[in-house]
Structures are given as structure tokens and as C-alpha cells.
């Protein structure tokens, strides 16, 4: 396998709230390889956005990376100063958020905002920049690109605005795109169109992506590998098929069981009892999922499980599979 383009190792992130430190991410370790789309799933508040904010150096002011390594190719992301980040953001790594209007400047025309990445990162002439911007607008499915070039964001629909955001993210040809719930704010038919655009980007441009979503329908459509997050931990990782067809962690199993299924119409939808604990309510030094887990046993309240490789690319952070406490347990029939 080729070298990863992004590596995160043992990263912890904490918030300072009323002079107390609360751990929000713990021991985050994963890699992204060239040409692959890595999904991050998990309920609200599990740390999906925080993970991407830490990578991009855009954490909220009261959050700090306490430890860990983050590397983009050979660049140590934790060492970067603001001016170094300006060179990397857009050119190497770019980000797409849920709400297009928070990413767009309402006072600047669409064309100008898209071409900005070329202005910063290339030495193309004005005409060349305009030509490339219009080509990019066409690629992301913006109709009448020449006219739209001069439009302001509020003149566009939500779906069109998100296409503009995607064009901004792609224009300097980054090799890693981080998309945080990029379809969630859009209505269902537009969601499907934007997802189709992401698939096109995946297959045509072959850039790597981190794709954050609550929605397994979306994850299933685009991801090669999946990280499942719970209460600040990556509790399971594997290929899309390993996670969907052979989930190991009780949390992943429960999430999958909770996917709405049209064949089960009329049967009450399964929901996971309880909720993700807030930062202040998280217990330390125990399994973070123990309180909601239907397979809890003595080890779960004694220590945080280590991530254990199930096989190949598949790993889970659960005492049912740790050498110390589990492995001997027959979990196959659950």
C-alpha cells in the first residue's frame, strides 16, 4: 500500500470550560491513503467535526490539542504557523462545511470567490483564471456559468451555493478534501444531486476525502473505509463492507440496527437507549459506551478498552475483543 497522505496518531483534544479541562477527543488514530474516501459516522456530539477542525488547525479558541501527531504527507500540521496554513489550505487540503452560506462571503461575486484559490496559489493570468473558474463551475454543475460568475451568493439556491463551495474547495486541486455533512442542510432531491457530484469527484479526480455524515445512506454511497466515533473515541474502523456487513462493536451494531429500512415498514424503528454524554458527564478510565451497551461486563467499568485488530483493516475498541478481558467470549450469536 502506498504511503498515507494524512496520519493522525494518538491525538487528544480538550476544552477548557470554567477553568476545568474536559477531554473531547481521546486517542484518535487513523490514516487516509491516496484516492480513498474515509467516512466518519457517529451520533451528534461524538467529535466528528472536532476531529476535522483539529486536523485543519481551526479548533474553537477554548480547545487545545493536548497530545498526538498530525501529518499531511511529511508536513507536521501541529507545527504550522498561520502563514504556512494559508499555503496548505485550499492547495493541499480543503474543507467543505454543512452550511454553504457560512462559507461564502455575501458581498463578493461567486466567480471572484472561486478564483481566489487560483490567485493565492498560482501565477495564472487574469484571463486564464477566469477561464479555469468557468470550467470549474461547469464541472460542478453550475448552469450558465458565464452569467453566474457575476452573481452574488444570495441569488443562488442552497444546492447551487453548495456547488459554489465545492468549486472553491476544488479549484486549486487539493489532494485531500474534508467534507463535514456537506449534504445535510439541503433538501432530499438536492442531497442526491450533491452526493452524485461527490461521487464524480471521487472517480474522476481521485482525490482523497474525509466524509463526515450521520447518514448511512450517504456513507454507503461514497466511502471506502469508515471510522465509527463515540464520545470522542474511534470505537471501530474498517472497510465499508466490514463495517456494514460484519460490525463488531456493540455501538456500530446498534447504529446499523437503527438504519431505517423500507422492508421493515410498520415495525417500530430501533433506537439506541440513552444519549451521548456531554463533555462534563463523561466518565474517565472506563469504556465510554458502557452505560448504553447491552453487552456490558465487569471489564467495561475497569478500563478503557484498547483498539484491537479483528483482522486486516478491521479493528474495534471493545473489551469483547481485547486480549485482557475478551476474545474468549463467544459474541458471534449476538
Name, in order, each residue with C-beta under 8 angstroms of 133's C-beta and a sequence gap of 6 or more.
111, 114, 115, 118, 149, 167, 171
Beta strand pairing call for 225-230 and 37-41: parallel
Restricting to residues 252-291, name those near ligand ATP by CB under 6 A: 278-279
According to CB under 6 A, which residues from 14 to 53 bind ligand ATP?
A: 15, 24, 42, 44-50
45 binds, among Mg ion, ligand ATP, none (CB under 5 to 8 A by kind): ligand ATP
Cβ distance to ligand ATP smaller for residue 58 or 269: 58
Distance between CA atoms of residues 228 and 235, nearest Å: 6
**Which residues, listed in sequence order, are joined to residue 316 by a DSSP beta bridge?**
236, 308
Q: How far is the CB of 68 from ligand ATP (least distance, A)?
A: 16
278 binds, among Mg ion, ligand ATP, none (CB under 5 to 8 A by kind): ligand ATP
- What is the rounded CA–CA span in Å between residue 260 and residue 90? 36
Pick from 152, 148, 276: which is nearest to 214 by CA?
276
Residue that the C-alpha cell 479493528 belongs to: 315
Using CA atoms, how far residue 291 sits from 26, 157, 231, 275, 329, in Å, is: 18, 43, 12, 9, 20
In sequence order, which residues have a C-beta less than 8 Å from that of residue 128 and are 6 or more positions away? none
Question: Cβ closer to ligand ATP: 281 or 324?
Answer: 281
Write down the least CB distance from residue 214 to Mg ion, Å. 9
Torsion of CA 32, 241, 214, 185, to 10 degrees: 80
- For residue 39, the Cα-to-chain-centroid distance in whole angstroms is 6
Question: In sequence order, which residues have a C-beta less than 8 Å from that of residue 296 and are 6 or more positions away?
Answer: 287, 290
Residues 6+ apart with CB under 8 A from 60: 15, 53
**Min dist. Cβ of residue 52 to ligand ATP (A):** 8
7 is an interface residue for Mg ion by CB under 5 A: no
CB closer to ligand ATP, 56 vs 110:
56
In angstroms, give the least distance from the CB of 78 to ligand ATP. 19
Q: How far is the CB of 152 from ligand ATP (least distance, A)?
A: 28
Minimum CB separation of residue 217 from ligand ATP in Å reads: 16
46 interacts with, out of Mg ion, ligand ATP, none, CB within 5 to 8 A per kind: ligand ATP
Of 45-53, 73-81, 261-269, 304-312: span binding Mg ion (CB under 5 A): 45-53
Spatial CA neighbour of 176 closest among 15, 36, 23, 321: 36
Nearer to ligand ATP, 51 or 92 (CB): 51
Question: At closest approach, how far in Å is the CB of 43 from ligand ATP?
Answer: 7
The CA distance from 234 to 26, in Å, is 8
Supply the minimum distance, in Å, between the C-beta of residue 55 and ligand ATP: 12
Nearest to 48 by CA among 256, 215, 221: 215
Which of 219, 253, 225 shows the shortest CA–CA distance to 312? Answer: 225
Nearer of residues 241 and 280 to ligand ATP, judged by Cβ: 280
CB of 31 or CB of 49, closer to Mg ion: 49
User: Pattern 57-86, binding to ligand ATP, x per CB under 6 A?
Assistant: ---x-x------------------------
Of 137 and 212, which CB lies nearer to Mg ion in the complex structure?
212
- Contact between 49 and Mg ion by CB under 5 A: the answer reads yes
Copy the grid coordinates of residue 63. 480547545
Binding site for ligand ATP (CB under 6 A): 15, 24, 42, 44-50, 60, 62, 214, 278-279
Binding site for Mg ion (CB under 5 A): 49
Amino acid at each position: 500500500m502506498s504511503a498515507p497522505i494524512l496520519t493522525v496518531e494518538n491525538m487528544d483534544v480538550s476544552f477548557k470550560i470554567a477553568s476545568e479541562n474536559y477531554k473531547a477527543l481521546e486517542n484518535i488514530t487513523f490514516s487516509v491513503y491516496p484516492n480513498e474516501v474515509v467516512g466518519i459516522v457517529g451520533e451528534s456530539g461524538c467529535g466528528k467535526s472536532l476531529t476535522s477542525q483539529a486536523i485543519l488547525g481551526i479548533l474553537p479558541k477554548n480547545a487545545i490539542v493536548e497530545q498526538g501527531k498530525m501529518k499531511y504527507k511529511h508536513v507536521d500540521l501541529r507545527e504550522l504557523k498561520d502563514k504556512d496554513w494559508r499555503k496548505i489550505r485550499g492547495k493541499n487540503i480543503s474543507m467543505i462545511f454543512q452550511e454553504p452560506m457560512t462559507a461564502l462571503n455575501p458581498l463578493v461575486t461567486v466567480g471572484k470567490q472561486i478564483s481566489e484559490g487560483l490567485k493565492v496559489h498560482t501565477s495564472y493570468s487574469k484571463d486564464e483564471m477566469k477561464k479555469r473558474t468557468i470550467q470549474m463551475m461547469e464541472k460542478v454543475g453550475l448552469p450558465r456559468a458565464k452569467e453566474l460568475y457575476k452573481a452574488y451568493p444570495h441569488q443562488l439556491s442552497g444546492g447551487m451555493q453548495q456547488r459554489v463551495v465545492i468549486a472553491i474547495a476544488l479549484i486549486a486541486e487539493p489532494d485531500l478534501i474534508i467534507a463535514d455533512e456537506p449534504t445535510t442542510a439541503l433538501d432530499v432531491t438536492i442531497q442526491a444531486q450533491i452526493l452524485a457530484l461527490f461521487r464524480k469527484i471521487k472517480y474522476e479526480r481521485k482525490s482523497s476525502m474525509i466524509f463526515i455524515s450521520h447518514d448511512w445512506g450517504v456513507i454507503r454511497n461514497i466511502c471506502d473505509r469508515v471510522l465509527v466515533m463515540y464520545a470522542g473515541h474511534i470505537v471501530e474502523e474498517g472497510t465499508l463492507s466490514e463495517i456494514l456487513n460484519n460490525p463488531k462493536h456493540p455501538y456500530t451494531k446498534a447504529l446499523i440496527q437503527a438504519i431505517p429500512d423500507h422492508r421493515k415498514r410498520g415495525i417500530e424503528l430501533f433506537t439506541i437507549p440513552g444519549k451521548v454524554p456531554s463533555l462534563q458527564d463523561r466518565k474517565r478510565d472506563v469504556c465510554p459506551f458502557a452505560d448504553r451497551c447491552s453487552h456490558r461486563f465487569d471489564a467495561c467499568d475497569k478500563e478503557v478498552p484498547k483498539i484491537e485488530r479483528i483482522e486486516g483493516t478491521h479493528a474495534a475498541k471493545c473489551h469483547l475483543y481485547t486480549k485482557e478481558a475478551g476474545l474468549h467470549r463467544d459474541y458471534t450469536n449476538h
